[in-house]
Structure 1
Amino acid sequence: MITQFIISNGDKIPSPALIFNEQAIKSNISKAIETAGGPTRLRPHVKTHKTREIVKMQQESGISKFKCATIAEAEMLGLCGAEDVLLAYPLVGPNVDRFIELVKSFTETEFSVVAESRRGAELLSAAAADSGVEIPVYLDLDPGLHRTGIEPGNSAIELYKYISKLPYLKAAGIHCYDGHIHQSELSVRAAAANECYQASLSVQHKIEESGMKAENLVIGGTPAFQIYAQFPDVQLSPGTCFLNDWDYAKNYKDMQFDFAAVVLTRVISVHPEQSCFTIDTGCKAIASDPDSARGLILELPDAQPLYQNEEHWVFKLITNELPEEGQILHVLPTHICPTSALYSQAHIINSKGDWYTNWKIEARNRRLSI
């Protein structure tokens, strides 16, 4: 059992429930700042927690730049008074106009966005021109994930030049997300991350050699965070590490972040003849990706998941005594980011192990006010 989730008054919490350990989050923020070499190099992604309270904790630690994936997350950051927010997601359809409204609504925050094509840049330029606002735009590179972005090379350089010439757009730098880099072995991961960095750096240098500025390079997520931190000329955008999860713990043993989030669950049925038991954490209470086990029961790590339905999760256990009906257990999610989004609030425990308040998972909603 991980001691930071021994909750003195856990019997008062209805299950299933999302639990955040406040002290562990503070520790992870400090570790991220130490890894980066200072708060000014960090541009943490808020998709993992989606809460104002963690943003405020990061701001109090000297972090002023943030990254997000939705208009709602960007608006939440605006409500927190964030100085610099990068919406690292291609905008199409009504989201273009929503972004413009966001820029106009929070004038103390500099909002920027990414573009991966001429068409996308033209849509941003036209909307910005109609409203008379200037938008900083990052060139979105695809280093091998093939999800969004343009591959490094001459086409990327030409697109950056095109962005810089469009009315009401300001070419602000390069964004590169390396979601394909998830090798467990540190040396293999480091080699892949270095290749990604060199490709991004090459594009940046060629842009600057042509007479344009591309001073900002935002790169990576959590798996290669400590690797990119060795390069002094980049902004680092980890996200998962602030809460951590079972997938990262078992695959990236070189990273020493604390577990700061679990799902509190209860045993609702026991079947001794089948050596099985059922908990109340169904697929509506924990992320169903990736395809492997969706979480680890901290008290019963040998319990093997059999199947999961909307409100039930059935396990087989042959190495220990079966838990009792009504017993509280704690599940460490395999993927914490979408797990957080399944809850309207997180129950917060302090350094004494007391549940003392709740935090709203505000940006789980697709729309706040904009």
Structure 2
Amino acid sequence: MENWQEISNLDQYDTPLFVVYEDRVKYNIEMALALVSGDLSRFRPHIKTHKMGEMLQIFSGYGIHKIKCATIAEAELAALNGMTDIMIAYQPVGFKIHRMMNLINTFPDCTFSCLVDNLETAKEIAAVAKEAGSVENKEIRVYLDLNTGMNRTGFPVAENVVAFVMALKEISGLKFMGLHIYDGHIHDPDPAVRAARAKPAMDKVLADADELIKSGFADLKIVAGGSNTFSFYSGIESVECSPGTFVFWDENYNRLIPELNFKPAAVLVCSVISLPAPGILCVDLGYKSVSSENPIEKRVVFPWNDDLTPIGHSEEHLTLKHIGPTDYKVGDRIYGLPYHVCPSCALYEEAQVVNDHHQIEKSWRIKARDKKISI
């Protein structure tokens, strides 16, 4: 495997490290834009993977100013870093509605929107907006979140979507923007199978959208998918695509989505801290440094050290079985690829950024890993 990961000044840094390769990030952005034929109106990247202001500034350099996010902190970070059309792909409930109102009033030059999937919550959002005294003449923009089979959130796509939207339209203080889909349950390795699974729900969505457009919703938008169904939705001209993981890519998608030629752009660097028994070594990559929601074999891989296999994991330690001729020593640095990069990134306060000369030259604060920035 090509040794693109090597860092020449790594001895100046402690581990574990979350490291980003800026040239690879830019390559991935350019690849993503190429999939939508360079049409910026069809591209709304999700920022939950990186949560960094510097990444948003790179987006701006490519003319990208609309994004999707999941938290109020991510939305605030976006507003602070040049994004002007910010979708909070989450249905706010309880006090989160008040935080969203504060966000809208704090950044009047930005357009914010959120998701809803039931009329009761939609009415609560409208009521809180009126009570909060939101920006004059500015309705709260909402998208209808649709459940296409993931069964996480959303109004069932098979039900009467048009009737729901008509009822939503009657709620004073809200402005219906369009339909939202996230189908993270579709992750078959064969892109044809993924497309076949996504198509029936999308056909229903497109039919509903056509009916709504005929009923007067001329500017209706459809925001659909993540990285897993990006290749399918990028071929539908009326859809805004919203991948997130593409910026860093990870081992999971590298295996599951072979048709997308994104490059891994983030690695985890750890150190050997102990050789407790023959054929066993331990590195400083515990639960607190790599996402651990998957089984142990699907947390981190070591493609440049394929003689290492994870066998034990705890808060500050990862124990590895060693079968091979390599003579590992305490203090050796080892590069790994996270299996799920998004929550792994969120475990670090900052990312170290590598330049074209294989040196760490700066760091980027992973600011929106915080639950709150100021709002």
Q: TM-score, normalised by structure 1?
A: 0.96
Listed one character per residue, the Cα deviations across residues 121-168 of structure 1 (whole Å, up to 9, x for unaligned) are 011111122214411110100100000001114433222112211111
> Are residue 281 (structure 1) and residue 285 (structure 2) matched?
yes
SS at match of 2:160: helix
**Residue 231 in 1 paired to residue 236 in 2?**
yes
Distance 1:10 1:115, change over 3 A: same
Equivalent in the alignment of 1:27: 27
Deviation string 1:277-302 (CA, Å, 9 cap, x unpaired) is 11100010000122342011132124
Q: Which residue of 1 aligns with 2:100?
A: 99
SS class of match (1:3): coil
Partner residue in 2 for 1:182: 187
Q: Distance in 2 between matches of 1:348 and 1:341?
A: 16
The one-letter code of the counterpart of 1:80 is N
Q: Which residue of 2 aligns with 1:317?
A: 322
CA contact (8 A) 1:219 1:235 kept: yes
1:34-80 CA-partner distances (Å, limit 9, x unpaired): 11111331100000000011111111101121000000000000101
CA distance in 2, matches of 1:73, 1:200: 28
Unaligned runs of 5+ in 1: none
Specify the SS of the correspondent of 2:298: coil
Runs of 4 or more, structure 1, over 6 Å off, are none
One-letter amino acid of the structure 1 residue matched with residue 119 of structure 2: R
Bigger shift: residues 126-135 or 27-36: 126-135
State the one-letter code of the partner of 1:194.
Answer: K
What RMSD over aligned residues (CA atoms) do the two structures have, in Å?
A: 1.4
Structure 1 residue 270, shift from structure 2 partner: 1.7
- 1:16 maps to 16
SS at the partner of 1:331?
strand
Give the C-alpha shift of residue 2 in structure 1. Answer: 4.3
Q: Superposition pairs for residues 152-231 of structure 1, below 5 Å?
A: 152-213=157-218, 215-231=220-236
CA offsets 1:246-294 (integer angstroms, 9 cap, x no match):
1111121211101111111001112452x11111000100001223420
Counterpart secondary structure, 2:334: strand
Contact 2:42 2:239 (8 Å CA) reproduced: yes
Matches of 1:330 and 1:252, distance apart in 2:
23
Letter in 2 for 1:82: M
Cα deviation, residue 203, structure 1: 2.2
Equivalent pairs, count: 369
The correspondence for 1:257, drawn from 258, 262, 280, is: 262
Tell me, what secondary structure is at the counterpart of 1:74? helix
Q: 1:86·1:112 contact (CA, 8 Å) conserved in 2? A: yes
Residues 101-134 of structure 1 deviation map (CA, whole Å, 9 limit, x = unaligned): 1001111110001100011101111112221441
1:298 to 279, 303, 308: 303
Candidates 356, 364, 369, aligned match of 1:359? 364
Range moving further from structure 2, 194-203 or 168-177: 194-203
SS of 1:265's partner is: strand
TM-score, with length taken from structure 2: 0.95
> Letter of the aligned partner of 1:287 in structure 2?
S
8 Å CA contact 2:57, 2:82 repeated in 1: no
For 2:10, give the aligned amino acid.
G
- Give the whole-Å Cα distance in 1 for the aligned partners of 2:361 and 2:14: 14
Aligned partners of 2:181 and 2:223 also within 8 Å: yes
Tell me the SS of whatever aligns to 1:248.
Answer: helix
1:31 counterpart SS class: helix
Secondary structure at 2:49 match in 1: coil
For the residue of structure 2 that corresponds to 1:4, the secondary structure is coil
Find the aligned partners of 1:126 and 1:155 in 2 and give their Cα distance.
Answer: 25
Contact 1:272 1:322 in 2 (8 A): no
The C-alpha deviation readout for 1:190-230, integer Å capped at 9, x for no partner, is: 21122232122122123223343462000000011011111
Residue 374 of structure 2: aligned partner: 369
Using the alignment, how far apart are the partners of 1:234 and 1:323 within structure 2?
51
Aligned match of 1:82 = 83
Identity between Structure 1 and Structure 2 (%): 34
Write the distance in 1 (CA, Å) between the matches of 2:368 and 2:333.
Answer: 29
Question: SS at the partner of 2:222?
Answer: strand
**In the alignment, what sits opposite 2:62?**
61
Is this contact kept in 2: 1:67–1:88, CA < 8 A? yes
- Residues 233 and 241 in structure 2, CA contact (< 8 A), matched pair in contact too: yes
Following TM superposition, by how much is the alpha carbon of 1:368 offset from its aligned partner in structure 2, in angstroms? 0.5
The unaligned stretches of length 5 or more in structure 2 are none
Q: Helix, strand or coil: the match of 1:192?
A: helix
Which string of whole-angstrom CA distances, capped at 9 and with x for unpartnered residues, describes residues 175-204 of structure 1?
111111111111111211222321221221
